[in-house]
Amino acid sequence: MADSIAEEPDVPMPRKVFVRTLVGVVGAGYAGAVGYPIYRYLSTPARREASAPAVTEVALPEANMPKPGTALSFMFGNRPALLIHHNDGSVVCFDAVCTHLGCTVQFQANESRIFCPCHGGKYDMATGKNTGGPPPKPLRQHNVEQRDGQIIVTRV
């Protein structure tokens, strides 16, 4: 009688299995390479902000104070901000993230407003109140103080 327990031959991985494995690995890599940028694009600014450490105060050198009638854009933590020096000498600072869909707003001195180029949102340059277009809320205002040769901007 022949032995009923046959030894498995030492066969290399069959070509079919190798090709399937290779297609799976390449497919997973491709899905990650395409999917991650899409995820980052669709991730809302609010979600990104929640994952970053909160910055509550920024000190700028007083030499950075914009001239009257102009504004300075700077980063307040991971968010853009606008420091506006009005012609009457007052200084205000706003979060420069549009309250509609999160685009960065710009100061337009010649139009006396803050403007969002994405969908034409308009804000009052003195108060940050939404005055036109789709933004549903005013811009968040930060507190501004000048002390010890610095401009101290504090999140309210």
Contact between 84 and 109 under an 8 Å Cβ cutoff? The reply is no
Residue among 85 and 122 whose Cβ is closer to ligand FES = 122
Element spanning 142, H or E = strand 141-147
Q: Rule CB under 6 A: say whether 93 interacts with ligand FES.
A: no
Q: Count other C-beta atoms under 10 Å from residue 95's C-beta.
A: 20
Q: Which amino acid is at 85?
A: H
Alpha helices for the chain (secondary structure H): 15-42, 45-51
Q: Rule CB under 6 A: say whether 104 interacts with ligand FES.
A: no
Q: Rule CB under 6 A: say whether 45 interacts with ligand FES.
A: no
Residue from 81, 91, 116, 125 touching ligand FES (CB under 6 A): that is 116
The residue count for binding ligand FES (CB under 6 A) is 11
Binding interface with ligand FES (CB under 6 A): 98, 100-101, 103, 116, 118-119, 121, 133-135
